[in-house]
Amino acid sequence: MKNESQITFQSAFAEDTYKGLSSYPKFLYSKYIYDEKGDKLFQQIMDMPEYYLTSCEFDILEMNAPEIADSFQHPEGVDLIELGAGDGKKTKVLLKELLKKEYDFQYLPVDISQHALDDLQQSLKKELPAVKVKPQQGTYFKTLEKLSEYNSRKKVILVLGSNIGNLSHKEAVNFLKNIQTAMSKEDMLFMGFDQKKDPQVILNAYNDESGITAAFNKNLLERINRELEANFDLDAFRHWETYDPETGTAKSFLVSETAQTVRIKSLELEVKFDKWESIHTEISQKYDDHIVQWLADNAGLVIENDFHDVANCYKNYIFRRK
């Protein structure tokens, strides 16, 4: 087996897979779940009754759309930039309100999945043809480098779906700092944060009995098999979810149910698993007002307003630069 410095990686996916499966403990990056199949599985997850995040945020946007749209508006127009746009279902609530009020805006959805962006653009063409759309394919971090280029008028940066929950607190502060750096005085950040709540409710959201979330996580292994010529036996791994109510951290793992060796041909890599050894695949961080305030303080942001659902399970905050 060659070491990492001797390998010429054909893609970031290949390099990150090598890095994660050569580490101890083993890990894989959740962003690679989102290929065409992963996108469809996530749509199914968002429709599950256990996955409260989607319905809570949807309710927030529907109840407060006029006030939120008014906060976005600017006489010279607005660039509405959404990081991790997905299917845009919730964002369409705001887009409809902006159109209804005849505000001048351009919508720039950003997503790592070109498939998701293509579907979103097609649905907008059919449902909201008056919206000016300019899709941007790429990761959050590459997109953030370009954000400052949009400086001729007000920017409103949207991060819905508690996507920030996929980051540790340290990573979240760095992420917010990068956004803050790209913001001018009049710009704003509109971001969703899943709140701490009954631990069982959170576990149920990521460990559904129908097995959709398990299939979603295992799609990582399926993608490695397909794109990197590996021989993962998906049935030999169990999806496992944990939640720490003290830290507010939910974690997803794939646990090997047997001692086994997996071969990844294109990486010239053999990966040995002990029985019950795990691969960490996802993090989903939960918050309260104190943590969000701490994040804002450390990132040079101020909280201007917030909106919550009836049960106070979820919140959307408006931030500006200090």
pLDDT tens track for 131-151: 999 998 887 777 777 777 777
d(CA 246, CA 15): 34
Residue 86 binned pLDDT confidence (cut-offs 50, 70, 90): confident
Mean pLDDT calculated for residue range 56-73: 97
Question: Which pTM does this prediction carry?
Answer: 0.90
Least Cα distance to 204 among 250, 160, 270, 247 occurs for 250
pLDDT tens track for 148-187: 777 789 999 999 999 999 999 999 999 999 999 989 999 9
Beta-sheet pairing, 278-285 with 249-256: antiparallel
Q: What pLDDT is recorded for position 144?
A: 72
Q: What pLDDT is recorded for position 295?
A: 98
CATH code, residues 52-195+287-321: 3.40.50.150
Within 8 A by CB and 6+ apart from 70, the residues are 101
Q: Give the distance, in angstroms, between the CA of residue 88 and the centroid of all CA atoms in the same chain.
A: 13
Q: What pLDDT is recorded for position 6?
A: 66
Q: What pLDDT is recorded for position 265?
A: 96
User: Which residue type sits at 239?
Assistant: H
Mean pLDDT calculated for residue range 59-79: 97
| Top-confidence residue, 30 or 4 | 30
Residues 35, 17, 247, CA angle at the centre, nearest 5°?
A: 85
Residue 202 has pLDDT above 70, yes or no: yes
Q: What pLDDT is recorded for position 1?
A: 53
Ordered by start, the domain boundaries in the chain are 4-33+200-285, 52-195+287-321
Residue 124 binned pLDDT confidence (cut-offs 50, 70, 90): very high
